[in-house]
Amino acid sequence: MNPKVEKHPLKPFLPHNAGLLMLGSFPPDKKRWSMDFFYPNFINDMWRIMGIVFFNDREHFILSGEKRFDIKAITEFCNGHGIAIYDTASSIIRLKNNASDNFLKIVERTDIRKILEQIPQCRAISATGEKAAVALSDILDCKKPDMGGYVEFMQHEKPIRFYRMPSTSRAYPLAMNKKAAYYEEMFKYVFGNTATYKQP
């Protein structure tokens, strides 16, 4: 029996004003989704980290009393701030029936440079996990950054930073506030001083 190849279930989310492109590996199995958007698993902390960084509130993007994220608030937030999102794999095979990157086999990589053509204001891209960082360094043919650091690559003679961020999965052994601190440093570069984007 041939293994099942899964194609990416979402289109790239590309606000016209995107200054940052965030790239994971691939969405979890649909049964783990709490919304039809990126980082949909309710036990993934991406949107809690965004809540901490931008609103000083880890619950900001959670629907009150429910175990799901507020997709309307999230998409409005990403559009307003110019945060594009997609993944480094366009199709994969799951080697085990779970959401772990360790058991994803990439069948087709995403054409990241083609996506960058659609968001010409982009100043930085970020890998939101180890598998995404490895894939991105291969796709871009550049060195993989150290955790929390960046390297630069050229896109049509324009330098763009490639950041490596800690995974927002709870399997990654780092406290949420420490993960948020890494993300905040990246946002300071993309959006300017924290005071210009933090909400009261």
Q: Is residue 51 in some structural domain?
A: yes
Could you read off the pLDDT of 8-61 as tens digits, one per residue?
999 999 999 999 999 999 999 889 999 999 999 999 999 999 999 999 999 999
- The CATH number linked to 99 is 3.40.470.10
Q: Is residue 200 in some structural domain?
A: no
Q: Is residue 126 in some structural domain?
A: yes
Query: Can you give the pLDDT at residue 200?
Result: 45
Could you read off the pLDDT of 99-146 as tens digits, one per residue?
556 677 889 999 999 999 999 999 999 999 998 999 999 999 999 999
Question: Would you say the pTM of this structure is higher than 0.75?
Answer: yes
Q: Supply the range of the domain harboring residue 177.
A: 5-191
| Whole-number Å distance between alpha carbons of 133 and 56 | 27
Number of domains, the chain:
1
Q: Is residue 199 in some structural domain?
A: no
